[in-house]
């Protein structure tokens, strides 16, 4: 088995940690946990709450799966164990938003691999099959963000200033952008309508409107909920509905490579190597630096930050005995 890992914080300058946490326990489990950046910027002992969540769930995963019998537990029991561990860790903390993280695991079950994902951290098998779920709420945010960026580009010249204004508009919500006179009410309604239509959510325009007017700072209220078109599964200390969770098993003889990757990579490479992932990332940065074109996403890159943390764990040259 060949193991490669790339783990880059979004900050271009060295010395600051990101929110991605990889886990490598050969013979037990390989995983990545992408902590959600806290919209309020909450920090505990110098660590952001997204990283706190990722570290907590990574530790709980290792503790649980060191027992070979636990690796074959029903999905609901594994998710409940991890959720309860995160809840116990964060219960004493007075934080405005429950810390949350994604989960992506390749679990060694002896004769088979078991793959579990919760959230938008993905797994690619043999360089072709991708186990990945993209949240519809992120697609809605992305559409609105691109529209905001293009709007601000008509009144501002500096790309970093445009991106900062765009992030503020998406984070704090379109109501705030209207209140600050960066948008008219008509422009806001146009962005909301097009974001709903482009994602097939005309029937749920009220849900889209409430979210975009409130901004990403209210997104946590939709995690593990029901009855809203933008609800999504999250590892945040409450029990998710498991409608968006992957749980797949493959015979070891059929798996030759495993790549676990966060959404900090806007494109997947053809080749199977850490270098290939980095090369694909660099090409995307060069061709769509602001992430408003082919690689549009909820944030763009700036002179001081990449658009997100990025981590990829590559397991190659696997055999049935690996």
CATH of the domain at 118: 3.60.40.10
Contact between 291 and 266 (Cβ < 8 Å): yes
The number of distinct structural domains making up the chain is 2
Interval 81-102 mean pLDDT: 93
Task: Say if residue 255 is in the same domain as residue 121.
Answer: yes
Does 86 lie in the same domain as 183? no
In a shared domain, residues 170 and 159 = yes
Residue 265: partners with Cβ closer than 8 Å, 6 or more residues away: 277, 280, 281, 310, 312
240 pLDDT above the threshold of 80: yes
| Averaged pLDDT for residues 216-245 | 95
Residues 6+ apart with CB under 8 A from 291: 266, 297, 299, 300, 301, 307
What was the pLDDT predicted at 305? 97
The values of phi and psi at residue 78, to 5°, are -65, -45
pLDDT at 319: 80
Q: Is 116 in the same domain as 254?
A: yes
Does 175 fall in a domain? Answer: yes
| pLDDT of the residue at 154 | 95
Examine residue 228 and state whether it is found in any structural domain, yes or no: no
Res. 235: pLDDT tops 90: yes
Give the integer Cα–Cα distance in Å for 139 and 218: 16
| Predicted confidence (pLDDT) per residue in 261-278, tens digit | 999 999 999 999 999 999
Instruction: Tell me what the mean pLDDT of segment 224-252 comes to.
Output: 95
Q: Which residue has the tokens 């309860």?
A: 84
Residue 322 lies in a domain: no
Same domain for 129 and 11? yes
Q: Cα-Cα-Cα-Cα dihedral of 174, 184, 144, 7, to 10°?
A: -60
Tens digits of residue pLDDT in 160-206: 999 999 999 999 999 999 999 999 999 999 999 999 999 999 999 99
206 with 244, same domain: the answer is no
H helix or E strand, kind and range, residue 169:
helix 159-172
pTM for the predicted model, two decimal places: 0.96
Question: Residue 217 in 3-state DSSP?
Answer: helix
pLDDT of residue 93: 85
Domain that residue 279 falls in: 2-135+234-316
Same domain, 75 and 158: no
Residues 176, 249, single domain; the answer is no
Residues 200 and 265 in one domain: no
Q: Within this chain, do residues 35 and 53 fall inside the same structural domain, yes or no?
A: yes
Are residue 215 and residue 310 in the same domain, yes or no? no
| Three-state DSSP state, 275 | helix
Look at residue 96 and tell me whether its pLDDT is greater than 90. no
Average predicted confidence (pLDDT) for the chain: 96
Same domain for 17 and 158? Answer: no
The pLDDT tens digits for 49-88 are 999 999 999 999 999 999 999 999 999 999 999 999 999 9
């Amino acid at each position: 088995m060949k193991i490669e890992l790339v783990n880059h914080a979004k900050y271009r300058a060295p010395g600051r940690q990101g929110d991605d946490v990889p886990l490598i326990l050969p013979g037990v489990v390989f995983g990545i946990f992408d902590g959600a950046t806290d919209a309020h910027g909450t920090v505990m002992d110098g660590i952001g709450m997204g990283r706190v969540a990722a570290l907590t769930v990574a530790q709980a995963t290792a503790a649980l799966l060191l027992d070979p019998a636990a690796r074959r537990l029903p999905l609901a029991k594994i998710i409940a164990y991890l959720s309860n561990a995160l809840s116990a860790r964060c219960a004493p903390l007075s934080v405005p938003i429950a810390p949350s993280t994604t989960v992506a695991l390749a679990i060694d079950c002896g004769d088979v691999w078991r793959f579990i994902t919760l959230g938008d951290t993905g797994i690619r098998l043999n360089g072709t099959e991708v186990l990945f779920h993209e949240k519809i709420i992120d697609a809605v945010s992305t559409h609105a963000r691109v529209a905001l960026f293009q709007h601000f580009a008509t009144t501002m010249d500096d790309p970093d200033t445009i991106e900062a204004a765009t992030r503020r508009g998406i984070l704090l919500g379109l109501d705030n952008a209207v209140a600050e006179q960066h948008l008219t009410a008509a422009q806001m309604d146009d962005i909301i309508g097009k974001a709903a239509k482009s994602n097939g959510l005309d029937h749920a325009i009220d849900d889209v409107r409430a979210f975009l007017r409130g901004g990403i700072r209210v997104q946590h209220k939709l995690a593990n909920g029901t009855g809203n078109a933008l609800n999504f599964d999250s590892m945040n200390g409450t029990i998710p509905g498991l409608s968006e969770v992957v749980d797949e098993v493959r015979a070891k003889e059929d798996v030759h490579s495993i790549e676990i990757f966060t959404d900090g990579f806007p494109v997947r490479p053809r080749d199977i190597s850490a270098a290939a992932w980095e090369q694909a990332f660099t090409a995307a940065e060069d061709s769509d630096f602001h992430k408003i074109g082919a690689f549009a996403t909820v944030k763009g890159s700036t002179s001081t930050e990449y658009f997100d943390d990025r981590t990829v764990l590559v397991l190659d040259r696997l055999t049935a005995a690996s």
